Amino acid sequence: MALPAGWKREEIVRQSGLSAGKTDVYYVTPEGKKVRSKPQLARILGESFDLTAFDFRTGRTVYSACRKSKRQKGTSYDFARGVRHDASLVLPIRQTASIFKQPVTVKRNGPESKPRAELRHGVQDQPKQVFWEKRLQGLRACDSSEEVIPTMDLPRQMQGMGPDLSTENILQSISAALHVNTGPVVGQGAGKHAIMKNPGINMDTQQPHVHQVVVSNDDIHRQEQKVQIARRKLQDLMSSLEK
């Protein structure tokens, strides 16, 4: 056997199933650990033992099964099958079931590590999903007694902008814009036809999915009147309770 001293080779014949009669080959380390595949064997032995010409089924070295390629500085032979020793790949390297080594992308959370895009273009903002409110479809808000809160109605001058938007989606986008944005909430600046043609480009993710709303002096005056009436009713109610 071509493995180091102390290793054992076992053949077990399958007794049942569609593959009955077939033989499975295993290798046992000197410590008693069972090895079931050549990649696992390569990981255990490491770089100290060359398995490029090792036949896992027979346990022998078969040099006739190897195909020599152009040699490069720092690399070993390139074989059609088996474990490659390619020093040109950048560590760390993952050994996959297909036997070919593949480079692995390492992501570190430390302050000293920076992504390649950040080094080239500076700090990049995380992209935002345009119609993320659609993920909330079917969810209804409830109060402390688990009673469903009825949906609000939009004013007539407030029209939705975007494909397949429900009233709930529009209200959710307005609530999110009021909660997240530090600037004024005015609605979408692009026209309806442009947005329907390509929402991903023309939609402003910082604004809710509604037409631009222009608040006139009459609107402000009507709102002030509503607030005054509500305050008067509250004052009358508190006065009646004190009596």
Tokens of 89: 């790949």
pLDDT attached to residue 71:
42
Number of H helices, E strands in the chain: 6, 7
What pLDDT is stored for residue 120 in this prediction? 64
**What is the per-residue pLDDT for 172?**
85
Q: Does residue 180 belong to any structural domain of this protein? A: yes
pLDDT at 99: 55
Are the CB atoms for 108 and 99 separated by under 8 Å? Answer: no
Is there a cis peptide before residue 92, judged by omega within 30 degrees of 0? yes
| Three-state secondary-structure class, residue 230 | helix
162 is in which domain, residue-wise? 152-242
Task: Give every CB contact of residue 84 below 8 A, 6+ residues apart in sequence.
Answer: 52, 76, 78, 99, 100, 101
pLDDT at 118: 61
Residue 125 resides in a domain: no
User: How does DSSP classify residue 210?
Assistant: B
Q: How many domains does the chain fold into? A: 2
pLDDT at 19: 77
Residue 1 neighbours by CB under 8 Å, 6+ apart: 7, 9, 59, 60
Cα separation, 3 vs 35, whole angstroms = 12
Write the CATH number for 26: 3.30.890.10
Which residues of the chain fall short of a pLDDT of 50? Answer: 68-85, 87-89
Q: Could you tell me if 189 and 212 are in contact, meaning their C-beta atoms sit under 8 angstroms apart?
A: yes
- Does residue 189 belong to any structural domain of this protein? yes
